[in-house]
Structure 1
Amino acid sequence: MNGFNNQARRLFGAMAVMAGLLVAGQAAGAEALRVRMDFSPWGMHAAMHLAAQKGWFEQEGLKVDIEDGTGTINTLQLLAAGRVDVGQVSVGTMAVAMENGLDLMAIAGFARTGDLAVMTDAGQKVTGPKDLRGKKIVCFATSPWVPFIDPFLKANGMSRSDVNLVMVSPSAMISTYASGNSDAFMSQAPFGVPMVGKSRPATALLLEDSGISFPSYGLAATPDVIKKRGPALAKFVAVQVRAWQYLYDGHLEEGVQAILAQRPNANLDADVLRGQLEAYRPFFKSPTVPDAPFGRQYDSDWAAAIQSMEQAGMIKAGRKPSDYYTNALLPN
């Protein structure tokens, strides 16, 4: 019997070694993609970290390196410079960045309704943008808000001289507001409101309500990377579509736990991550196409965004939706 057990142990040991070699071989043959997020970990990173946690990228033959970011604008700059392959960014901000010569393209759209907002202390009972006159508002230099600040103020009959706008470091924005050292802060509503809910509850004035419409979070790459690495990008996009579908099909908590597991030293609050994911659910709807599938972008959505950004002087006249996005990498 002992002889049999020893043989069995040797057999199972050999099988384990073979399995390890197979996994190692698969990893060695995987195609590497460097992905840059917009910011430090928060709720909208759930699909990326969930896919990594579950091994979905590896199943598709991909080795995905997920980098935290320091702001959408910085990620766009790194993307255009060829330092990363894919960026998870505000694709509306991407459209404005393209006016400054960055060669970019949105390859998937997830939060397709505009989410930028000014958050104010709920106790101040701010009911409209004009109530922001004289208030101290904080933002940061690489925020997706930056190209929209002046058009927002102008749309409401104001300029920067009417508010006390202060640029702080990204890490200081929330703490500055939460401590009472500012009246308001500029961010994405589904990000910001849950972040300050426990310390200084806020209400949001959406930029879209001032007539400036644009899509929010999606994935972007350069045309050169799309051309050279299309098959790998298509696999990557399909995994992200799958992850978002899975999350909003009753598995948000898995997304929260995946972020915590993938970023154990980031000092994250599970309640905040959960609140951000819940808050983003309505923003995933297309403004013009009912029941639009995850990831797909539409001429009708982009046409409305182009019109409002043209009127605000943010992009040149004559742009068309196909200048900004492609659905070619999405699963059929």
Structure 2
Amino acid sequence: MHRSKWTLLILSCMLVLLAGCGTAKNSETTPTADGKAASNGETKELRDVKFVLDWSPNTNHTGLYVAQAKGFYEEEGLKVDILMPGSGGADAMVASGEVPFGISYQESVTQGRTQGVPLVSIAAVIQHNTSGFAAPVDRNIKSPKDFEGKTYGGWGSPVEEAVMSSIMDIEGADVSKVNIINMGEADFFTAVKRDIDFAWIFYAWTGIEAELRGEPLDMLYVKDYSDKLDYYTPVITTNEQQIKDDPELIKSFLRATSKGYQYTIEHPEEAADILLKAVPELDKDLIMASQKWLSPKYQDDAARWGEQKQSVWQNYSDWMYEKKLIEKPLDTDAAYTNDFLPE
């Protein structure tokens, strides 16, 4: 993410916090006309809570929609509205207090916090990094060494070349021999037919789509080459002011969200149907196949869904600092917390 974006985000956060609007507690307490729920024979008002996605709805988000549809949020006294990100992005909306919760990535939280942005990661959506470099099998890219002489299509982030360099260095390969171009608005399948050989993808989405299209890929997961690259992506975030002012809301929200993801782990097909009902324009075959692939990976080898390790935050931030992607070391203890997850 470019430094100019983070500069604008810092200024936005400062203005909002100074105006006294950084607390989601005050802005989220007015119930809507239909914001009622029955509890022990009594009717209680639900608290409106906004949650902002990082991108259009997909299987990274299924647990949220399941928690919404199955009434887990209502059980906690919440009426959760899942939003698309505004023009400034999800991180800006959460950091400024416009919304209390959202989806981000460890990379973004790390970059932001080293520049004064008050984002805090409160849960890992997926326990291990499912991203990597992918190429159609006819490009014969079987290892990072094979990147040499090929064309990579990206989005212009310095992180891309840094990751590529890290895994190529292991095999004595030279990243300067890769032709790196910006893919623009083209999707992976269009770009590899047009002018690139490989790109960085999340397998749960683009990789599964390739399977359904009958277009086999060679996939090099970055976590397989370095422990430092097995970071959390995506994560659920809040902001420091929310933690200070209303920790009970965070606990309630995560209790319900955890139930949603646990249900999705145990019932992937039903969970996929719930996502499709909420967002009917999504491709049914892709959602169903993606959900079956991804559901076991939400919790994976962690003791509970959402749990984050200090070593993962330390390893990745150390790597970012070594690669000069951040200007100072990260205070990892302030960047994430497991304190609000249910036991």
TM class by shorter chain equals: 0.7 to 0.9
C-alpha deviations, 1:82-101, integer Å up to 9, x for none?
33221122234322232343
1:218 paired with 2:235, answer: yes
Q: Which residue of 1 aligns with 2:127?
A: 112
1:148 paired with 2:149, answer: no
Aligned equivalents of 1:304, 1:174: Cα separation in 2: 29
Equivalent residue letter for 2:127: R
C-alpha deviations, 1:112-138, integer Å up to 9, x for none?
212221211123231122322343333
How many residues align? The count is 299
Q: Which residue of 2 aligns with 1:187?
A: 201
Equivalent residue letter for 1:279: W
1:52 aligned to which of 51, 55, 68: 68
1:206 paired with 2:221, answer: yes
Identity of aligned residues (%): 21
| TM-score calculated relative to the size of structure 1 | 0.79
2:322 aligned to which of 288, 299, 311: 311
| Alpha-carbon distance, 1:104 to partner | 0.6
Aligned equivalents of 2:296, 2:323: Cα separation in 1: 25
1:293 paired with 2:308, answer: no
Equivalent residue letter for 1:301: V
Contact residue 60 and residue 125 of structure 2 kept, 8 A: no
2:78 aligned to which of 43, 62, 65: 62
Mapping 1:17-28, distance limit 5 Å: 25-26=36-37
Cα RMSD (Å): 2.9
Contact residue 123 and residue 307 of structure 2 kept, 8 A: yes
Mapping 1:275-286, distance limit 5 Å: 275-281=289-295, 283-284=297-298
Aligned equivalents of 2:100, 2:93: Cα separation in 1: 9
1:98 paired with 2:113, answer: yes
Q: CA 1:148–1:180 in 2, change beyond 3 Å: closer, same or farther?
A: same
Q: Which residue of 2 aligns with 1:260?
A: 276
Aligned equivalents of 2:114, 2:331: Cα separation in 1: 13
Aligned equivalents of 1:24, 1:219: Cα separation in 2: 24
Q: Which residue of 2 aligns with 1:31?
A: 47
Contact residue 38 and residue 70 of structure 1 kept, 8 A: no
Contact residue 129 and residue 233 of structure 2 kept, 8 A: yes
Q: Which residue of 2 aligns with 1:128?
A: 143
Q: CA 1:68–1:331 in 2, change beyond 3 Å: closer, same or farther?
A: same
Aligned equivalents of 2:89, 2:337: Cα separation in 1: 22
Q: CA 1:160–1:33 in 2, change beyond 3 Å: closer, same or farther?
A: farther
Q: Which residue of 2 aligns with 1:270?
A: 284
- Find the residue that maps to 1:197 and give its secondary structure: helix
| Alpha-carbon distance, 1:320 to partner | 4.0
| Alpha-carbon distance, 1:259 to partner | 1.1
C-alpha deviations, 1:134-177, integer Å up to 9, x for none?
43333346xxxx352121133225446722321423xx323424
| Alpha-carbon distance, 1:185 to partner | 2.5
1:84 aligned to which of 77, 85, 99: 99
Equivalent residue letter for 2:240: P
C-alpha deviations, 1:14-69, integer Å up to 9, x for none?
xxxxxxxx965449832221111121121111111111222221221112110134
Aligned equivalents of 1:70, 1:269: Cα separation in 2: 24
Q: Which residue of 1 aligns with 2:153?
A: 138
2:339 aligned to which of 313, 328, 331: 328
Aligned equivalents of 2:85, 2:201: Cα separation in 1: 15
Aligned equivalents of 2:219, 2:296: Cα separation in 1: 15
1:234 paired with 2:251, answer: yes
| Alpha-carbon distance, 1:322 to partner | 0.8
| TM-score calculated relative to the size of structure 2 | 0.77
Larger radius of gyration: 1
Contact residue 152 and residue 198 of structure 2 kept, 8 A: yes
Q: CA 1:108–1:192 in 2, change beyond 3 Å: closer, same or farther?
A: same
